[in-house]
Amino acid sequence: MFYSCKKDQTISADTSLSEIKVPDGFTWESSRDISFKVTIADNRFQEDIHVIAIYSADGGLITKGAASLTKPFESKAYVPGTVNEVYVVRTAPDNSSTSQKVRLNSDRVTLTLSAPLVQAVSSLNNTLNAATGSPDCTTGCTQTVTLTKNYETVSVSEGKTVCVNGSNKSFDVQFGSGGGTLRICGANLTVLELANNRINDPSAIIITAEASVVIDEKKSTNFNQNNNTLENYGQLTIEGGINLAGKLKNNGVLTVNGEYSTETQTSPVTEHTNNGTLIVNGLLDVGSNSLFYNNGSVRTTDLRLFNHATFVNNCKLLVTNEYDHSTLMKNYGYIKVEKEVFVNGSSELALYNGSMISTRDIKINGTIKGYDAGSLFKVSNETELTGAGELAGNFSYCDANGLEKNNGTIEHTVSLNCNLYIPVSGCNAEGNGSAPVKDTDGDGVLDNIDDYPHDATRAFNNYYPSGGVDDGATVLFEDMWPVKGDYDMNDVVMSYQLKVITNAANKVVELSGTYNLNARGGVFENGFGIEFPVSRSLVSNVKGAVLEEGQDKAVLILFMNMQNELMYMNTRPADPFSPVKTYTISFSVSNGPSLNEFGLGEYNPFIWDRGKGRSYEVHLPGHAPTSLGDPKLFGSGHDASNPAKGQYYVTAEGFPWAISVPMKNLPYPLEGKDIGTAYLKLSQWVVSGGVNFNDWYSNRASGYRNDSNFYKTGDK
């Protein structure tokens, strides 16, 4: 290859993969191994088993298993590079469930879970914020004012920070040109007037942890410019209501007597976060395009959510009268409405992670949707489901009297019963049902969280790729090794998904999987197999494949000659289409490795050309040959494998003979079309070392694919 014309690595839409320069050490992996270790520090249940489940942000299961006080849950999973954060969900032996979001900033996640993750937030958050988050009036002050009499005016301008001390005094505040920060540290102080606060310059009011303040303008307080910030770490009372744009952060106790309105603001968007206790004696009105995050406790007389607002409830929300819903609510905690909920058209009321919503009456014109089976919507009196209303997703809907008026849509995945157990917690004082304690098979895992409640030898399903039973991956091969191919990557195209079954001790006991031969664009008599990371002697009861002789590890052969599997190649439009060939495999493991040792990944798929001989194996880059592969072939042709450096199946320029992608039934190129001219961001992903366009295979936006270079069948 010649790179003189590509020194600047300029990539155009017609740049083929073979034209680029591969960075040194590039692995061609669209996923990476993440090691998880979750330790239990909750001694309420002694050595009883907690179940740990780790999900991607879209709800796809990554890995699951058991943990206890002395035995952490450990697992290694091959996670797509597009996944940047996960949710760790712990189900305790009393069936209570908690979750925690974790950023994937490295290849190792280590987490300790105490009792419980979700706690009564008011006193806890006040203590934490007072100790660590609140500023004071001894540092960072441009000017310090100590109030000695009533009705003084404190002026804030030119970006200064004015700190106010004193006690039992009333004063006025005036924001001037250039804005600034008013920091109040005194006790029993009353702000009588906030003057000229509608300037566009950034203005902030901060109530420190030791302060107690009343804003009493005898009218609704306006602090509603887009650059305004209100932070409360102490005790703040606002008389007459407040209109507030910009940013609010409440880490203490905030009481609003009157209407609390989040003013509509698009740049920057209005964003309010409650980490402490918020009490609204009136209407809490969340305006259009506003974001509201409740991580603590909110109590309001009425609640109204406007179009295009988003409310995320992570703990406790109490509405003593009515809740008028016209937008998106994401409920991860507990919502209690004393009277009636109105779910208006084109809105979604969503339940996640064992959450609960409880009300007396409800009228549904929009959608209530559950994102997991552990959440509950409870109605004590009357449900009216209109023709436009919908119950969707996976959750339990409980109306003890039945759905009195049902003219809408109820998906079959919604459970209409009141039996779901929701534990009492610091966020949810109501709960529901009785804790199940049944463990039929005696393996220590409760029936409701045991994937095999009647089989003590099995407990948990884990999948690769992560996500669940409908996900999959695709591996694509060039079959000319050790000579370079044409990089259409369609000589053998296999899509697949694997299920790894573990017991209550997180030991691998069984593996099953489905492989699909989508295309055989090569001309050789290629066979296909997979090497698994377990000794051959520990594997038995093999179904759907042949356990190959002469191997140290378990190697399953699915077919010996692809020419006998598909009549046509499925790579050339002029040829007829051969139906995809499916292979269902399984095997048992005795005295197997732990899930952490076995891992969840693609393992070691490979092909070989029967005409050349069984030793001519072709693997993914970085994967060693099986015991039957011939290492003496390394370095022949264009191969530049160097086992001493862990370098396998790449050319001297760094190009592979196979790639694996975490996407089911990945579209593949036409015969003779370089894959880089079909997936237009693939070359840029490679040149960047995997940093840019890591969604090159899944993104369907303009500029990502050249559809004319893909093979298509009549039903694609």
- What is the DSSP track for 660-712? EESSTT---BPTT--GGGTBTTHHHHHHTTTSS-TTTTT--STTSB-GGGB--
Q: What is the pLDDT of residue 426?
A: 83
Q: Which of 64, 56, 31, 60 is nearest to 469 (CA)?
A: 60
Which has the closest alpha carbon to 521: 557, 480, 549, 552? 480
Give the up-direction half-sphere exposure of residue 117: CA atoms within 13 A in the CB hemisphere.
21
Pairing state of beta strands 492-502 and 508-519?
A: antiparallel
Contact 590, 545 (CB under 8 A): no
Tell me the CA distances in angstroms from 28 to 23, 359, 660, one per residue in order: 10, 53, 8
Ramachandran category for residue 663: left, alpha or beta (phi over 0 → left; psi -120 to 50 → alpha): beta
pTM: 0.60
348 in Cβ contact with 392 (< 8 Å): no
pLDDT of residue 715 exceeding 80, the answer is: no
Chain segment 551-566, per-residue pLDDT in tens:
999 999 999 999 999 9
Beta bridge partners of 393: 370
Sorted by sequence, the CB contacts under 8 Å of residue 443 that are 6+ apart come out as 450, 456, 459, 503, 504
Interacting residues of 368 by C-beta distance below 8 A, sequence separation 6+ = 343, 348, 349, 350, 351, 377, 390, 391, 392, 395, 397
Cα separation, 577 vs 519, in Å, equals 10
The pairing of beta strand 212-216 with beta strand 235-239: parallel
Q: What stretches of 77-178 show up as alpha helix (H) in DSSP?
A: 121-128
pLDDT of residue 217: 84
**pLDDT tens column, 30-61:** 999 999 999 999 887 888 899 999 998 777 88
Q: Residues 477-521: pLDDT tens digits? A: 999 999 998 999 999 999 999 999 999 999 999 999 999 999 999
> Residue 332 pLDDT more than 70?
yes
| pLDDT tens sequence across 402-420 | 899 999 999 999 999 998 9
Residues 614-639: pLDDT tens digits? 999 999 999 999 999 999 999 999 99
Q: Which two tokens stand for residue 300?
A: 């309001």
- What pLDDT, on the 0 to 100 scale, is given for residue 451? 93
Q: pLDDT above 70 covers what percent of the chain?
A: 93
What pLDDT score does 129 carry?
41
pLDDT digits (tens, 9 = 90+) for 156-168: 999 999 999 999 9
Q: How far apart are CA 505 and CA 68, in angstroms?
A: 10
User: What string of DSSP letters covers 289-305?
Assistant: T-EEEESSEEEEEEEEE
Specify the DSSP element, H or E, that contains 596.
helix 595-598
* 7-16, 64-73, 269-278, 530-539: the lowest-pLDDT one: 7-16
Percent of the chain with pLDDT over 90: 74
Length of the chain: 716
Report which residue type is found at 241. G
Average pLDDT of the residues of the chain:
90
The enclosing H or E element of 598 equals helix 595-598
Return the half-sphere exposure (C-beta side, CA atoms, 13 A cut-off) of residue 439. Answer: 15
Q: Which residues of 424-461 are buried (b: 16+ CB within 10 A; e: fewer)?
A: ebbbbeebbbebeeebebebbbbebbbebbeebebbbb
Q: 595, 498 in Cβ contact below 8 A?
A: no
Q: Which residues of 306-343 form beta strands (DSSP E)?
A: 310-313, 316-319, 322-325, 328-331, 334-343
Residues 6+ apart with CB under 8 A from 508: 500, 501, 502, 534, 589, 592, 593, 594, 595, 598
Burial readout 112-128 (b: 16 or more C-beta within 10 A, e: otherwise): ebeebbbbbbbeebbee
- State the DSSP code for 630: -
Query: What are the percentages of helix, strand and coil residues in the chain, rounded to 5?
Result: 5, 45, 50
Burial class (CB in 10 A: 0-12, 13-18, 19+), 668: buried
Burial of 345-382, coded b for 16+ CB within 10 Å and e otherwise, reads: eebbbbbbbbbbbbbebbbbbbbbbbbbebbbbbbeeb
Sign of CA dihedral 299, 303, 309, 314: positive
* Predicted pLDDT at 10: 66
> What's the rounded Cα separation, in Å, for the pair 535 and 292?
54
Residues 568-585: what's their mean pLDDT?
96
Extended beta strands in 22-60, E state: 31-40, 50-56
Instruction: Tell me the residue type at 569.
Output: M
